[in-house]
Structure formats: C-alpha cells, structure tokens
Amino acid sequence: MLRVPRAPSTLTVDISDVTIEWLTTQRRTYNGGFPGPTFRLKAGDNLNLKLVNNLGAQPVGLHNQFRDPNTTNLHTHGLHISPQEPQDYVLLEVGPGETYDYNFQLNANQQAGTFWYHAHHHGSTFFQVASGLAGLLIVEDEVSSMSAELDAISCPHNCDKEVPMLLGKFIDYNGEDETFASVQTDIGDPFTVDNTVTPSAGVTLLSYLTDQQTGVSAYMVNGSAVSMNFPTTTPAKPFYLRDLQTVADSAIGGRYVVELGPTSYINREKFTNATYYRYNFDVNTIQEWTFTNTDQADGHPLHMHVTHFQVISYNTYSGPTTVADAGHGGDGAFAHYDLNGNMCDQQHKDFDATTINAGPITVDTTYLGHDTNDRNLAGYARIGEFRDVLLIPHWPVSKSVSGQPNTQVHTCSTATS
C-alpha cells in the first residue's frame, strides 16, 4: 500500500509573491502556496489545525461592505461537522497577529469526496478567496466500498492517477462588476500591482490589466492531465443523505422561503448580526425550503453551511421582479414590481418611495420557463441531486404571491456534535 503524506497541521496566512506566467503579484496565501495545501482525511478522523494570522494592521471598515482584508477564519465545504467552535464556526474572527486552534471532528459516516476549505470572514470572503486563501479537503473512500474502476484511479493504491484540481478565478482585473482589482481599492489593500511598470509605451501595468480590450482574467488550476477511465458507479450515500423525494407532507418538520435577487439583500433585508435569526428549526427534522430569485437576467448562487440538501422540484414562476436601478435617474435605489410592471405593495426594509420610479415599467419575460427547460444544461442542479451549493436561475421557479413553490429542496438537519 502506498502511504499518503498528510498536510501540515498549521496554516499560516501571510503575504507572498505569486507569479503566473509573466505577472508577479503579492497575495494572501496559506503557507506561501498558491493555492493552499491539500488535506487528506478519512471518515471519523479528527483534524487538529492551527490557523496563524501573520498579516498586519488593517483599515477600519463598515458592516456589510468590503472590509477587514487582514481578518480571517476557516470554512469547509462537504464536511458533516459541527457549525460551532472549535469546528466550522464561520463568524469566528482571527485578527492580525492572532492564532486559533481548530478541531474538525469528522462524522464516522462522513461521505468520501473531493471537498475544499477557504477563508470566510464577513466582508473579506470574496477578496481573500480570490487572493488564494483556499485549498482541497479530500475524504478518502474505504477501499472495501470502492469499485475496481474507482480503485484503479484513486488513493491509496493508485495515487499517481489522482489529479487534484482547484479551479478558481485568481487573476481577475478585467470585468464589468466587482473584480479583484476594484475590491483591492474598496477594501484598502496596500498590496496592489506596481503601477509604475509600463508594458507598452504610455500604458501602466494597472491600466493594461483593467482595460476591457487587453485586460487579464485568468483561471488558475493545480494538477496535470492524466488519461483514465472513469467509474460508472459511486459508493452508496451515508444515512444523512437518504432520498427525500417521496417524503410525506406529515414528515416535514418545517417550511421556509428564501428570496434572493440582484442586490445584497436576502428576504428583503441585509445581514444584521450573529444573534438575529429569521428562522429556527430543530435538528433531526426534515425541512422543506423554497428558493426564489427575482433577478431578470442573472442566476444567484446559494450555499448552505454544514447540511446538504436535495433538490426536489422546479416550478412555475409568477412572483415579483427586482429592478436594481429603479430610482429617479437610475441612482442605485431598487424596488420590486409584478410581472405586469406595477410596483408591489410589499417592499424591502430600506425602501423609500420618494426616491423610486413608481411605474408601471416594462418587464422583460424572456427568461421565464425554468420549470420546463431541459435541466441537463450547465448551471442546473438535477432533481434528486444532493448539494451544498445551488445556482438559483434568473427568474426561476420561485415562490409566488399565490403560494406556488419555486426551486424546492428538502434538507435533513442532523445533530453532529
């Protein structure tokens, strides 16, 4: 048996030089690597991990805005573990010069898979992950549960056939919305590119990178191509991912609706603090949640921490649309309208009618119909899949005023401590 070396038990966050082809930038990294180290675990393992923050002082930022470039923590995807300290508590703050000892206790029935971890401080998650604070978590299969095809391309017998790949948009200076370069400015990061460099006459490096015609947006992967035959079956799912598609209504312990859209609001208000709950439910109950996206043009990603969910249905949409620039002169104020273009009676928490175009407006219904689309297309989660990340399509099958459900999922909340 080939013995697999384990990753270090300390993750040190610091500034490192990162070179991709001809471009060298200074980024926040784990242990000087880009991306971070890979951790290989098994079900039932305990991972004791010290997070060391060697970053320096930082500017003062505002809540719910880009802030705290040098405050960090750890969050995992795919692990069935506790969301409380000292495990996957995402509201923990490890400030500049501080350390924290994590103890991740994997469930004895933890599903094998290729998962990942990353920094998750509110206000700097996008910035730090784009910088490079991310890495892989591989929970290995038990050999006895693996098919011959899977064993032939996997550790522990055939580690040379594995290709761990972490895909991320780590060089992002060119785009219409927030890019790494624009967030560097917003968050007060001093480690920007050297704008005295001139790659061509009269053009500085920053202006070159951010130009829409010549700018740079690069995806970074680690690993190399290997020819292999993929298995046609996978190991059985653990008990906490049992099929919930035919669960009786009487077995559902609660229901909740989550409305997303083109703004930073969820259910028409912004994040407040760690003690303000919109919805409480008990562990060891089955919950049916309905997700809706009021955006006319773009899908909205959703991530559920710790607990995976199963996609149950996509249904007809008849709900509102959110117009992000509904103010007089398109000043950034937003409002909700029905599909006929009339302003809705119920608006968001910070709504100010004196700043808004009362309508009626013209509503583009081009993208209605996700309930009948072929969901083998990229971007759709297939019905029956278990996910912890889901793309809610623009104007999806959403919760409407008449109570027609949207993208519907069942989630089984199980105690893990």
| Cα-to-chain-centroid distance, residue 321 | 24
**Poorest-confidence range of 61-75, 145-159, 288-302, 326-340?**
326-340
Domain spans of the chain, in order of start: 10-172, 237-417
**202: helix, strand or coil:** coil
- Residue 107 structure tokens: 């469930």
- Residue 252 structure tokens: 């559902």
pLDDT value at 399 more than 50? no
Q: Cite the beta strand spans of 119-226 per DSSP E.
A: 134-139, 168-172, 217-220
pTM over 0.95: no
pLDDT in tens, 283-313: 889 899 998 888 887 888 888 888 888 988 8
pLDDT in tens, 93-138: 999 999 999 999 998 888 888 899 999 999 999 999 989 999 999 9
pLDDT score recorded for residue 415: 35
**Section 229-238 average pLDDT:** 72
Domain 10-172 part of CATH 2.60.40.420 = yes
Residues 6+ apart with CB under 8 A from 274: 91
**40: helix, strand or coil:** strand
Task: Measure the CA–CA gap between 357 and 345, rounded to whole angstroms.
Answer: 14
Fold match between 10-172 and 237-417? yes
Question: What fold is seen in the domain 237-417?
Answer: Immunoglobulin-like (2.60.40)
18-22, 108-112, 132-136, 161-165: which is most confident:
132-136
